[in-house]
């Protein structure tokens, strides 16, 4: 929370949260953003392109209003990532602040996705892939000997570029898959978690009457929200999103962005996007990566999103955000 005030204060000095106000624990019933989400479905696609500036401010307001659940931060320290002998990420040091949305932007091939996959040890799932350096979750090193990647992934959820609901499972089973496969059988609890997660993912109203239909029968945008519901059902502390809207239409993209905005009250979010407007709309801080002569990606600069997009410190960043390359 203290980190948040620093970053939001330059945008909205008056909107600081009341001092000493303890963060409300994540109450299942509290989900105002979910109901507010389907605001103006007709107007949205047209208004979307032009309203990015207005939304950025709205986002900042939201972030300053309530934090339901204090999430944890992620520290990336001198991270190198390889595929076999090939270095794809060089010496990344980056701090992800709790209860914030950090966007990672950069040209194709700069290792954005690899970076985010290093944060929950998904990188090593690819044969031949390995990592040097360290990533700390709330201070704890996730690349220490003896750390089980399964446990890391329970604390750091992930949403992928393409919606990937489990093909054999119903909507309900998809949402509670993480709990069920962890051995939880309590039906009442599962139902409660399913409803809460689907409400948070702004999908409940659309699916509550067909929870036992196959997850694959939903539209692409609904499937992606189903995947977000599935990720938050296991109550991670950090959510990683790898271009979560790149396979979706503008309307679905808008809904996902509204969702990200709402989720920051409980989670730390890292989002990879190739869409700079999206980064500007949803994120508090932005990290810009690019690819060097040796084809390895590296971090150019990181800072408050407003600053990166209006007054970047580095020439390379300015060239990229103004569309001169990438």
Partner 1 sequence: MSATVDPLRIPGRNIRRRRATDRVMGALLAVAAVVAVVPLVLVFAYVLIQGLPALNVPLLTQSPMPAGFPGGGVAPAVGGTLVMVGLGTLLGTPVAVLAGIYIREYAGSRGATAIRFLVDVLAGVPTIAVGLFAYGLVVVPMGTFSAIAGAIALAVIILPIVARVTDEMLGLVPGSVREAAYALGIPPWKTIVRVVLPAAASGIVTGILLGVARIAGETAPLIFTALGNQRVSTSLTEPMDALPLRIWVYATGPYDSWHQQAWAASLLLVGLVLIFSLLTRFVLRRRGPAGR
Chosen residue from 27, 181, 184, 189 binding partner 1 by CB under 8 A: 181
Decide if residue 225 touches partner 1 (CB under 8 A): no
Decide if residue 18 touches partner 1 (CB under 8 A): no
Smallest distance from the beta carbon of 110 to partner 1, in angstroms?
21
Give the whole-angstrom CA distance, residue 62 versus residue 60.
5
x/- track of binding to partner 1 for residues 226-255 (CB under 8 A): -x--xx--x---------------------
Chosen residue from 18, 127, 145, 323 binding partner 1 by CB under 8 A: 127
Give the whole-angstrom CA distance, residue 173 versus residue 168.
9
Decide if residue 138 touches partner 1 (CB under 8 A): no
Q: Phi-psi region for residue 202, left (φ > 0), alpha (ψ -120 to 50) or beta?
A: left
275 — phi, psi (to 5°)?
Answer: -100, 105
Strand ranges, E, within 171-306: 238-242, 268-272, 285-291, 297-304
Decide if residue 165 touches partner 1 (CB under 8 A): yes
Smallest distance from the beta carbon of 200 to partner 1, in angstroms?
16
Give the whole-angstrom CA distance, residue 244 versus residue 257.
9
109 — phi, psi (to 5°)?
Answer: 85, 5
The residue among 143 and 160 lying less far from partner 1, judged by its C-beta, is 160
Chosen residue from 47, 58, 147, 177 binding partner 1 by CB under 8 A: 177
Decide if residue 43 touches partner 1 (CB under 8 A): no
The number of beta carbons lying within 10 Å of the beta carbon of residue 31 is 21
The number of beta carbons lying within 10 Å of the beta carbon of residue 168 is 10
From 37-45, 55-63, 78-86, 165-173, span contacting partner 1 (CB under 8 A): 165-173
Give the whole-angstrom CA distance, residue 264 versus residue 286.
15
From 5-13, 14-22, 176-184, 269-277, span contacting partner 1 (CB under 8 A): 176-184
Q: Which residues bind partner 1 (CB under 8 A)?
A: 120, 122, 125, 127, 150-155, 157-158, 160, 162, 164-170, 177-178, 181-182, 213-214, 227, 230-231, 234
């Amino acid at each position: 929370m203290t980190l948040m005030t620093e970053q939001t204060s330059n945008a909205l000095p008056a909107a600081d949260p009341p001092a000493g106000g303890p963060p409300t624990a994540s109450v299942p019933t509290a989900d105002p953003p979910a109901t507010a989400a389907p605001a103006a479905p007709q107007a949205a696609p047209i208004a979307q392109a032009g309203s990015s500036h207005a939304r950025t401010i709205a986002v900042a307001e939201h972030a300053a209003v309530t934090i339901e659940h204090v999430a944890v931060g992620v520290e990336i320290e001198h991270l190198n990532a390889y595929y076999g002998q090939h270095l794809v990420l060089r010496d990344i040091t980056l701090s992800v602040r709790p209860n914030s949305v950090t966007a990672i932007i950069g040209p194709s091939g700069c290792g954005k996705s690899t970076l985010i996959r290093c944060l929950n040890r998904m990188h090593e799932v690819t044969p031949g892939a390995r990592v040097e350096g360290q990533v700390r979750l709330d201070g704890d090193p996730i690349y220490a000997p003896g750390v089980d990647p399964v446990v890391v992934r329970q604390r750091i959820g992930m949403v992928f570029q393409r919606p990937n609901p489990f093909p054999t499972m119903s909507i309900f089973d998809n949402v509670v898959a993480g709990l069920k496969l962890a051995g939880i059988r309590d039906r009442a609890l599962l139902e409660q978690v399913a409803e809460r997660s689907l409400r948070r993912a702004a999908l409940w109203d659309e699916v509550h009457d067909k929870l036992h239909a196959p997850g694959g029968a939903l539209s692409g945008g609904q499937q992606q929200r189903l995947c977000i519901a599935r990720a938050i059902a296991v109550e991670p502390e950090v959510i990683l999103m790898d271009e979560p809207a790149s396979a979706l239409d503008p309307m679905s993209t808008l809904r996902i962005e509204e969702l990200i905005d709402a989720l920051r009250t409980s989670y730390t979010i890292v989002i990879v996007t190739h869409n700079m407007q999206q980064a500007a709309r949803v994120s508090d801080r932005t990290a810009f990566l690019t690819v060097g002569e040796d084809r390895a990606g590296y971090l150019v600069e990181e800072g408050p999103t407003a600053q990166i997009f209006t007054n970047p410190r580095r020439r390379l960043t300015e060239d990229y955000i103004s569309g001169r390359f990438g």
